[in-house]
Amino acid sequence: MARAGLTAESVTRAAADLADTVGFENLTVSALARSLRVKDPSLYSHIRSLQDLRERVALLAAGELADRIAAAVAGRAGFEALAAFADAYREYALACPGRYAATQIPLAPAVLAASAAYARTVELTHAMLRAYRLSEPDLTDAGRLLRSAFHGYVTLEANGGFSHSRDVRASWERALLALHTLLENWPTDPSPHAADGGEP
Protein backbone atom coordinates (compact mmCIF):
# COMPACT_ATOMS: atom_id res chain seq x y z
CA MET A 1 0.00 0.00 0.00
CA ALA A 2 1.31 3.43 -0.95
CA ARG A 3 2.56 5.38 2.04
CA ALA A 4 1.00 8.68 2.89
CA GLY A 5 4.28 10.25 3.98
CA LEU A 6 3.05 11.57 7.29
CA THR A 7 5.23 13.11 9.95
CA ALA A 8 4.41 14.43 13.40
CA GLU A 9 4.63 17.96 11.96
CA SER A 10 2.38 17.36 8.96
CA VAL A 11 -0.14 15.57 11.16
CA THR A 12 -0.14 18.49 13.60
CA ARG A 13 -0.64 21.02 10.81
CA ALA A 14 -3.50 18.97 9.38
CA ALA A 15 -5.02 18.76 12.85
CA ALA A 16 -4.79 22.53 13.24
CA ASP A 17 -6.48 23.06 9.87
CA LEU A 18 -9.19 20.61 10.78
CA ALA A 19 -9.72 22.33 14.13
CA ASP A 20 -10.14 25.66 12.36
CA THR A 21 -12.76 24.09 10.12
CA VAL A 22 -14.83 22.00 12.52
CA GLY A 23 -13.94 23.57 15.87
CA PHE A 24 -11.26 22.51 18.31
CA GLU A 25 -13.67 20.48 20.45
CA ASN A 26 -14.58 18.44 17.35
CA LEU A 27 -10.98 17.61 16.57
CA THR A 28 -10.89 13.80 16.81
CA VAL A 29 -8.35 11.22 15.76
CA SER A 30 -10.97 9.58 13.56
CA ALA A 31 -11.87 12.77 11.73
CA LEU A 32 -8.21 13.64 11.29
CA ALA A 33 -7.47 10.17 9.90
CA ARG A 34 -10.37 10.53 7.46
CA SER A 35 -9.14 13.91 6.28
CA LEU A 36 -5.69 12.40 5.67
CA ARG A 37 -7.11 9.32 3.88
CA VAL A 38 -5.58 7.05 6.47
CA LYS A 39 -6.88 4.65 9.12
CA ASP A 40 -7.09 5.77 12.73
CA PRO A 41 -4.29 3.59 14.15
CA SER A 42 -1.83 4.92 11.57
CA LEU A 43 -1.76 8.24 13.35
CA TYR A 44 -0.53 6.68 16.57
CA SER A 45 2.88 6.23 14.98
CA HIS A 46 3.17 10.02 15.02
CA ILE A 47 1.16 11.09 18.06
CA ARG A 48 0.87 9.41 21.42
CA SER A 49 -2.76 10.19 22.12
CA LEU A 50 -5.54 12.64 21.40
CA GLN A 51 -4.33 14.72 24.33
CA ASP A 52 -0.85 14.75 22.83
CA LEU A 53 -2.26 15.85 19.48
CA ARG A 54 -4.14 18.70 21.15
CA GLU A 55 -1.02 19.85 22.94
CA ARG A 56 0.95 19.82 19.69
CA VAL A 57 -1.69 21.98 18.06
CA ALA A 58 -1.59 24.29 21.07
CA LEU A 59 2.17 24.74 20.82
CA LEU A 60 1.98 25.23 17.04
CA ALA A 61 -0.71 27.87 17.44
CA ALA A 62 1.03 29.65 20.30
CA GLY A 63 4.14 29.94 18.15
CA GLU A 64 2.20 31.25 15.16
CA LEU A 65 0.39 33.77 17.33
CA ALA A 66 3.63 35.00 18.88
CA ASP A 67 5.16 35.34 15.38
CA ARG A 68 2.27 37.45 14.16
CA ILE A 69 2.32 39.66 17.23
CA ALA A 70 6.08 40.10 16.96
CA ALA A 71 5.77 41.13 13.30
CA ALA A 72 2.94 43.53 14.12
CA VAL A 73 4.65 45.39 16.96
CA ALA A 74 8.09 45.54 15.30
CA GLY A 75 9.19 49.16 15.03
CA ARG A 76 6.15 50.55 16.81
CA ALA A 77 5.68 52.03 20.27
CA GLY A 78 2.97 53.49 22.47
CA PHE A 79 -0.57 53.34 21.18
CA GLU A 80 0.56 52.14 17.76
CA ALA A 81 2.24 49.13 19.31
CA LEU A 82 -0.75 48.47 21.56
CA ALA A 83 -3.18 48.58 18.65
CA ALA A 84 -0.92 46.46 16.43
CA PHE A 85 -0.52 43.87 19.18
CA ALA A 86 -4.23 43.77 19.89
CA ASP A 87 -5.31 43.65 16.26
CA ALA A 88 -2.85 40.87 15.47
CA TYR A 89 -4.15 38.96 18.48
CA ARG A 90 -7.81 39.43 17.59
CA GLU A 91 -7.36 38.71 13.90
CA TYR A 92 -5.53 35.49 14.61
CA ALA A 93 -8.24 34.37 17.02
CA LEU A 94 -11.02 35.15 14.56
CA ALA A 95 -9.23 33.79 11.47
CA CYS A 96 -8.01 30.61 13.18
CA PRO A 97 -10.61 29.83 15.84
CA GLY A 98 -9.57 26.20 16.24
CA ARG A 99 -5.90 27.04 16.63
CA TYR A 100 -6.73 29.86 19.04
CA ALA A 101 -8.96 27.63 21.15
CA ALA A 102 -6.08 25.17 21.33
CA THR A 103 -3.86 27.79 22.95
CA GLN A 104 -6.29 27.95 25.87
CA ILE A 105 -6.08 24.36 27.04
CA PRO A 106 -4.26 23.88 30.33
CA LEU A 107 -0.77 22.53 29.72
CA ALA A 108 1.44 20.68 32.16
CA PRO A 109 4.06 23.04 33.61
CA ALA A 110 6.78 20.82 32.13
CA VAL A 111 5.31 21.11 28.62
CA LEU A 112 4.89 24.83 29.08
CA ALA A 113 8.43 25.33 30.25
CA ALA A 114 9.83 23.27 27.39
CA SER A 115 8.27 25.53 24.78
CA ALA A 116 9.21 29.14 24.20
CA ALA A 117 5.98 30.07 22.45
CA TYR A 118 3.93 30.95 25.51
CA ALA A 119 6.73 32.78 27.26
CA ARG A 120 7.30 34.77 24.08
CA THR A 121 3.77 36.18 24.15
CA VAL A 122 4.25 37.31 27.73
CA GLU A 123 7.60 38.87 26.82
CA LEU A 124 6.08 40.65 23.84
CA THR A 125 3.42 42.07 26.12
CA HIS A 126 6.06 43.36 28.49
CA ALA A 127 8.13 44.79 25.66
CA MET A 128 5.11 46.64 24.32
CA LEU A 129 4.39 47.99 27.79
CA ARG A 130 7.88 49.43 28.22
CA ALA A 131 6.80 52.59 26.40
CA TYR A 132 4.36 53.26 29.24
CA ARG A 133 7.24 53.34 31.71
CA LEU A 134 5.81 50.90 34.22
CA SER A 135 8.01 48.99 36.61
CA GLU A 136 7.35 45.78 38.51
CA PRO A 137 4.97 44.71 39.81
CA ASP A 138 2.86 47.12 37.77
CA LEU A 139 4.33 45.69 34.60
CA THR A 140 3.08 42.21 35.42
CA ASP A 141 -0.27 43.50 36.63
CA ALA A 142 -0.83 45.57 33.52
CA GLY A 143 0.30 42.71 31.29
CA ARG A 144 -2.15 40.36 32.94
CA LEU A 145 -4.96 42.84 32.57
CA LEU A 146 -4.17 43.41 28.92
CA ARG A 147 -3.98 39.74 28.04
CA SER A 148 -7.18 39.16 30.00
CA ALA A 149 -8.98 41.90 28.10
CA PHE A 150 -7.78 40.65 24.71
CA HIS A 151 -8.54 37.04 25.45
CA GLY A 152 -11.87 37.80 27.05
CA TYR A 153 -12.96 40.04 24.24
CA VAL A 154 -12.19 37.64 21.40
CA THR A 155 -13.69 34.64 23.17
CA LEU A 156 -16.87 36.48 24.07
CA GLU A 157 -17.04 37.79 20.52
CA ALA A 158 -16.45 34.35 19.01
CA ASN A 159 -19.04 32.72 21.28
CA GLY A 160 -21.73 35.26 20.50
CA GLY A 161 -21.48 36.98 23.88
CA PHE A 162 -22.01 40.41 22.36
CA SER A 163 -25.62 40.42 21.30
CA HIS A 164 -26.17 44.17 21.47
CA SER A 165 -26.62 45.93 18.15
CA ARG A 166 -23.51 48.07 18.68
CA ASP A 167 -20.81 47.18 16.12
CA VAL A 168 -18.30 44.80 17.70
CA ARG A 169 -15.36 46.21 15.75
CA ALA A 170 -16.17 49.76 16.86
CA SER A 171 -16.34 48.65 20.49
CA TRP A 172 -12.95 47.02 20.04
CA GLU A 173 -11.41 50.25 18.72
CA ARG A 174 -12.78 52.15 21.68
CA ALA A 175 -11.58 49.49 24.08
CA LEU A 176 -8.03 49.83 22.72
CA LEU A 177 -8.19 53.58 23.14
CA ALA A 178 -9.48 53.10 26.67
CA LEU A 179 -6.70 50.66 27.52
CA HIS A 180 -4.19 53.15 26.19
CA THR A 181 -5.65 55.78 28.50
CA LEU A 182 -5.57 53.27 31.32
CA LEU A 183 -1.88 52.53 30.80
CA GLU A 184 -0.99 56.20 30.67
CA ASN A 185 -2.83 56.81 33.96
CA TRP A 186 -1.87 53.56 35.67
CA PRO A 187 -2.50 54.03 39.40
CA THR A 188 0.97 53.30 40.66
CA ASP A 189 0.63 54.50 44.25
CA PRO A 190 -0.65 52.09 46.90
CA SER A 191 -4.38 52.54 46.67
CA PRO A 192 -6.28 55.17 48.73
CA HIS A 193 -8.51 52.66 50.54
CA ALA A 194 -7.19 49.68 52.47
CA ALA A 195 -8.55 46.79 50.42
CA ASP A 196 -6.93 44.15 52.53
CA GLY A 197 -6.28 46.14 55.65
CA GLY A 198 -3.37 46.08 58.01
CA GLU A 199 -3.36 42.84 60.00
CA PRO A 200 0.17 41.89 61.01
User: Per CB under 8 A, which region of 13-21, 31-39, 69-77, 107-115 contacts its own copies?
Assistant: 107-115
Largest CA distance in the chain: 74
Q: How far is the CB of 60 from its own copies (least distance, A)?
A: 18
- Least distance to DNA, CB of residue 50, Å: 3
Report, in Å, the least distance between residue 83 CB and its own copies.
8
Q: Which of residues 34-53 bind DNA (CB under 7 A)?
A: 38-42, 44-46, 49-51
Q: Could you tell me which of 170, 181, 155, 184 has the C-alpha nearest to residue 94?
A: 155
**Terminal Cα distance for the chain, rounded:** 74
Q: Does 78 bind its own copies (CB under 8 A)?
A: no
Asked whether position 145 contacts its own copies by CB under 8 A, the answer is yes
Q: Which stretch binds its own copies (CB under 8 A): 9-17, 36-44, 67-75, 171-179?
A: 171-179
Rounded Cα distance, 114 and 95, in Å: 27
Residues 6+ apart with CB under 8 A from 40: 29, 30, 33
Distances in Å between the Cα of 130 and the Cα atoms of 63, 82, 139, 158 are 22, 11, 8, 30
Give me the least distance between CB of 121 and its own copies, in Å please: 10
